[in-house]
């Protein structure tokens, strides 16, 4: 039975979760290829070749996607930090407003 993909608080699957799942699939496929390594059948050899090519491309895309997501997160953190440093009172006002809304929602329950 496959492992269940974790979801965030709103029931959504995150990009990080999908990347971890893809890594697991690649790992399992590589193990399957190693297990069939001794098979000499022509049909199996063709399938192994295509699978190895597909896995190589998937591994490369996975590494690129992981690096891209990480860089986007860092960029967003830098932008947020710069904005808060340039506009501290606006940041305080926004935080207070969010706190007020969350408090009001919490009182309703």
Q: Dump pLDDT digits (tens) for 90-105.
A: 888 988 999 999 988 8
What count of Cα atoms within 13 Å lies in the side-chain half-sphere of residue 66? Answer: 13
Instruction: Specify the number of domains making up the chain.
Output: 1
Q: What is the pTM of this model?
A: 0.40
102 assigned to some structural domain: no
Domain range for 70: 15-84
Is residue 2 a part of any domain in this protein?
Answer: no
| Helices and strands, number each (H, E), in the chain | 3, 0
Query: 1 falls in which pLDDT band (50, 70, 90)?
Result: very low
Residue in 12, 54, 19, 64 with CA at minimum distance from that of residue 33: 54
Retrieve residue 105's tokens.
């929602």
Report the range of poorest mean pLDDT among 2-11, 50-59, 72-81, 85-94: 2-11
Instruction: Examine residue 45 and state whether it is found in any structural domain, yes or no.
Output: yes
Q: Are the CB atoms for 8 and 14 separated by under 8 Å?
A: yes
Report if residue 101 sits inside a domain: no
């Amino acid at each position: 039975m496959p492992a269940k993909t974790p979801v965030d608080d709103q029931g959504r699957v995150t990009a990080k979760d999908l990347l971890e799942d893809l890594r697991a699939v690649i790992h399992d496929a590589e193990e399957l290829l190693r297990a069939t390594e001794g098979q000499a059948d022509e049909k199996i050899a063709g399938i192994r070749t295509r699978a190895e090519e597909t896995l190589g491309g998937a591994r490369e895309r996975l590494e690129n996607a992981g690096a891209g997501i990480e860089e986007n997160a860092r960029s967003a953190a830098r932008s947020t930090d710069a904005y808060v440093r340039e506009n501290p009172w606006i940041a305080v006002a926004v935080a207070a407003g969010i706190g007020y809304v969350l408090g009001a929602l919490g009182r309703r329950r």
